[in-house]
Amino acid sequence: MTTIPLLRQRARPLTPDELAAVPWLPALTPGEREKACDDLIVTETLVGETICRIGKPANYWFGLVDGLLKMSNDDSQGPVITFTGVAPGGWFGEGTVLKREVYRYNIQALRKSRVAGLPADSFHWLIEHSLGFNRFVMLQLNERLGQFIAAREIDRLSNPDLRVARSLASLVNPLLYPSVGEVLRITQQELAYLVGLSRQRVNEALATLEAQGVIRVEYGGLRVLDRMALRGYGAT
């Protein structure tokens, strides 16, 4: 796997369009926003490159501008577990950065992606000075907790249709991934990586969800037709 320093070598400032897509910048005061914009960087990753690695210090708070990432424990001593996917607009790792800990998971690019980073010291400066930033981070932590509880439930599900539905629901969460909207750009193979099923079985599950009017499979992804039905799929 590519080392993280190589990603930093390709880093550059964010463009105006990329800055406009950062969901927490509007919560800042003009002075706070100016500092954050000066400190933010963005880098491009190739398929399979690692952004965060188990045991490495959290020097940045990361956000996905474009692409698709996978959070897993591939390098751990236990069984391999994929915790979740990360969709565009999502910022992740705030808990690790907040506690200045090392990563307990890997973040790997499933496709060519653009990843933004805010230095940990800048993150802590905003925590100390910005009420709006604190509100955003607290909301993120709350949503992330719910996401991981749902992920553990997915691990226990034996019904493949339920696994696919719950995984899709997590990727179209508007609070965690505001850039996704109604159309999720994901291939069936990428979804198979995230849910731990074969591509064929994922295809069958998507066909079931489409037949029930929950989603519509489109070229290069899928459109969510009923977000509430997707979130509550299989609930009794």
Instruction: Using a cut of 0.85, tell me whether the model's pTM lies above it.
Output: yes
pLDDT value for 133: 98
Positive or negative: CA dihedral 32, 181, 93, 132? positive
Burial of 156 (0-12, 13-18, 19+ CB in 10 A): exposed
For 134, the 3-state DSSP assignment is helix
Distance between CA atoms of residues 168 and 230, nearest Å: 8
pLDDT value for 81: 77
pLDDT value for 1: 46
Distance between CA atoms of residues 161 and 142, nearest Å: 27
Domains of the chain as residue ranges with CATH: 4-150 (2.60.120.10), 157-231 (1.10.10.10)
pLDDT value for 231: 85
Distance between CA atoms of residues 18 and 137, nearest Å: 20
Distance between CA atoms of residues 79 and 73, nearest Å: 8
Q: Which residue has the tokens 């509007």?
A: 26
Positive or negative: CA dihedral 66, 144, 222, 107? positive
- For 175, the token pair is 């609070």
Distances (CA, A) of 15 to 8, 18, 22, 38, 40: 17, 5, 11, 11, 10
- For 36, the token pair is 């954050």
- The rounded average pLDDT for each run of 10 residues, N- to C-terminus, in the chain (236 residues) is 62 96 97 97 94 93 96 72 89 94 94 96 98 96 80 69 89 92 92 91 96 94 92 73
- For 167, the token pair is 């995984």
pLDDT value for 18: 97
